[in-house]
Amino acid sequence: MTAVRVHHPRAVRRHDGGPADLTARLIGQRVSGTGRRGKYLWLELSDGSALVVHLGMSGQMLLGPVPKTDHVRIAVLLDDGTPLSFVDQRTFGSWMLADMLTVDGTAVPQPVAHLARDPLDPCFDADAVVKVLRGKHSEIKRQLLDQTVVSGIGNIYADEALWRAQINGARIATSLTRKQLRAVLDAAAEVMSEALHQGGTSFDSLYVNVNGESGYFDRALDVYGREGQACRRCGTVVRREKFMNRSSFYCPACQPRPRSPRSRAQ
C-alpha cells in the first residue's frame, strides 16, 4: 500500500490508535492473504498482523475507480496503482488492525476469534453445529442469526433456508430432529452458494460487489419480501411477521407455526 486516506473518522472508530496510527501502519504493507467470517473480512499483512474490515449494514470493499465518491470512507492506493476503497453508505462498518490467533487450527484475527464458521467454510462441520443447536432452547431462526453458533447466514438467507427446509423460524431448536436441523443448514449452504454465484442480493443500487456489479439473487428469492404473494411451492399466501426488529417471511402451509412457544416435534 503506497497511500492511505481516512475520509470519515467513524470508519476507524474500532482502531485504538485512530486514523493517523492506522494510516502510518498500513503504508508500505503488502497483502499476503485474505479471509472472511460473517460480515468480517480481513487482509493478512506482511508484518503478520491483519487489517480487519467489519462491513456493518452497507460496507463494501471496491477495487478500481469509484463512480460516486460520496460514501468513500477510506481510500487506499495499491503499489500497482489500483485504488482500493471502503464504501459505506450508513457508516456502521469500520477498519482496524489486529493480531492473528490460531483457533481450531485456523489463523484468524483476534476480533473474529469468537465467531463460528459459516456454511461455505471448507472446514464447516454441520454435524457439530446440529449438536449445538440440539441444546438451544430458543427459536431456530434466532439461532441461525447467532454468529457464535453459525456465521454468515443473515436474515434474508435464514428465511430462504427455513422455507426450503419447510421449518417455521419460530420452532424451538430443541424441538427439531437432527435430520430437520441438518436440512436447515444444508439449505442455508445452498441458498448462500446460489446467491454468491448471482452476485448477492442487491436491494439498493449503491450496493455492488468488489468490481462494482449489482447482484441479482433478489429476483430468485422464494419467500423473503413476498408478503401477500403465492408460495412458489403450494400456492398459499406468504405471511410476514416482526422478529428481532426485522421481518420474517414464511408460508403458513409449508411452514406451520408451532402450536405453543415450547411445542415439541411430533
Q: Identify any residues that bridge with 59 across adjacent strands, giving them in sequence order.
A: 88
How far apart, in whole angstroms, are the C-alpha atoms of residue 236 and residue 47?
Answer: 57
Q: What is the mean pLDDT of the chain?
A: 89
For residue 211, what is its C-alpha cell? 468490481
Strands (E), the chain: 3-6, 31-37, 40-45, 49-54, 59-63, 72-77, 83-88, 94-103, 106-109, 239-243, 246-250
For residue 184, what is its C-alpha cell? 436447515
Report residue 39's pLDDT band, with 50, 70 and 90 as the boundaries: confident
Amino acid (1-letter code) at residue 176: L
Q: Which residues contact 18 (CB under 8 A, 6 or more apart)?
A: 9, 12
Average pLDDT score over residue span 176-181: 98
What domains, with CATH codes, occur in the chain? 3-112 (3.20.190.10), 126-250 (1.10.8.50)
Indicate the pTM of the whole model: 0.81
Using DSSP, state whether 139 is helix, strand or coil: strand
Report residue 90's pLDDT band, with 50, 70 and 90 as the boundaries: confident
Are the CB atoms for 193 and 180 separated by under 8 Å? Answer: no
Give pLDDT, residue 198: 77
- For the chain, counts of helices (H) and of strands (E): 5, 11
Residue with cell 470519515: 8
Q: What are the tens digits of pLDDT across the range 230-261?
A: 999 999 999 999 998 889 999 999 999 998 65
Are the CB atoms for 79 and 73 separated by under 8 Å? Answer: no
Dihedral (Cα; 191, 103, 42, 125), 10-degree rounding: -10
Give pLDDT, residue 203: 40
User: Among 129, 27, 124, 14, which Cα is nearest to 73's?
Assistant: 14
